[in-house]
Structures are given as structure tokens and as C-alpha cells.
Amino acid sequence: MMIYKVLRPAEWAQLQADGSTQGAPVDLADGFVHFSTASQLGATLSRHFAAERELVLLACPAAGFGDDLRWEPSRGGGLFPHLYRPLRLDDIAWSRDILPCGNGHDTGPLE
């Protein structure tokens, strides 16, 4: 199963330069790296990135995180994947730009 992380271009560039990241400002504040499943991603984009036009989508195999990935209740009681260690470049299966479209974002096909 793939899980997804949304970053701004500057955050993605910093991850590429450093090889790892503790995440975006919200991740640093919460103490873990927020991810979404394919079914949660649209709501995440609408809720947290509605005004953002330039974004990058990272796809990571959930199984690769082992015990560092925890499924915890969040909005509406749904279980969201949270990573309790830095996200590393070698965790990422693929990345691509999220394109603005109409009233939202086009992530392209997901798992």
C-alpha cells in the first residue's frame, strides 16, 4: 500500500538537498510526519492546501516504515498514517507535481 506526502516545492528541494526531513512546519509542530492514504488525499489537499498552486506529491510504500509508522485517529475519527522518524529520500517510490485544476488539485493516478 502506498501512502502520500504533500510538500511545497521549497520543502521538496530541501529534502532532496539534505537526504531527509522532519517534514513541513505542521509536522514539526505535531512531532511526526503526516501522510494520507489515496482515499484521504483529496480531503487533505482541500483542507490544508486549497490556496496552494505549486505542490509536490511523494508516494511511499507503507510497509517500508515498519514500526515507525503508526495509524492514528484524526479528523472524523479516520486513521491516518503518521511517521515517527525523519522521512528519507530512499523511502520515496516516486514523486510528481500536483497540478492545479478547476476547484482543486490533480494528483494523477494513485494506487
Domain parsing of the chain, residue ranges: 2-106
Question: What is the torsion angle, in degrees rounded to the nearest 10, for the CA atoms of residue 68, residue 74, residue 79 and residue 81?
Answer: -30
Where is 16: in which H helix or E strand? Answer: helix 9-18
In the chain, the percentage of residues whose pLDDT exceeds 90 is: 82
Q: What's residue 67's pLDDT? A: 98
State pLDDT tens for residues 13-28. Answer: 999 999 999 999 999 9
> Looking at residue 53, what is its pLDDT?
87
Q: What's the pLDDT tens digit per position in 69-102?
A: 999 998 778 899 999 999 999 999 999 999 888 7
Rounded Cα distance between 6 and 106, Å, is 12
On whether the 2-106 domain is CATH 3.20.170.20, my answer is yes
